[in-house]
Amino acid sequence: TVIDIGYDNSNVGFDGATCAVLSCIGKQSVDIAQGVDRKSPEEQGAGDQG
């Protein structure tokens, strides 16, 4: 956990005991899908790197 690696106090910039983890996953953009969905791996695009 982040506490185990030293993020255990807000004085270090992050406190694992008081943080929250939010998970927000949405549908992939069709523009991205067009760049990565190919029949051949050689034609594979990079996709969404952000």
Length of the chain in terms of residues written: 50
Does the residue 1 lie in any domain?
Answer: no
Range of the domain at 21: 8-43
Does the residue 3 lie in any domain?
Answer: no
Does the residue 24 lie in any domain?
Answer: yes
Residue 4 has a pLDDT of: 95
Mean pLDDT of 6-32: 88
pTM to 2 decimal places:
0.41
Does the residue 22 lie in any domain?
Answer: yes
Residue 31 has a pLDDT of: 74
Q: Say whether pLDDT at 15 is over 70.
A: yes
Number of independent structural domains in the chain: 1
Residue 42 has a pLDDT of: 66
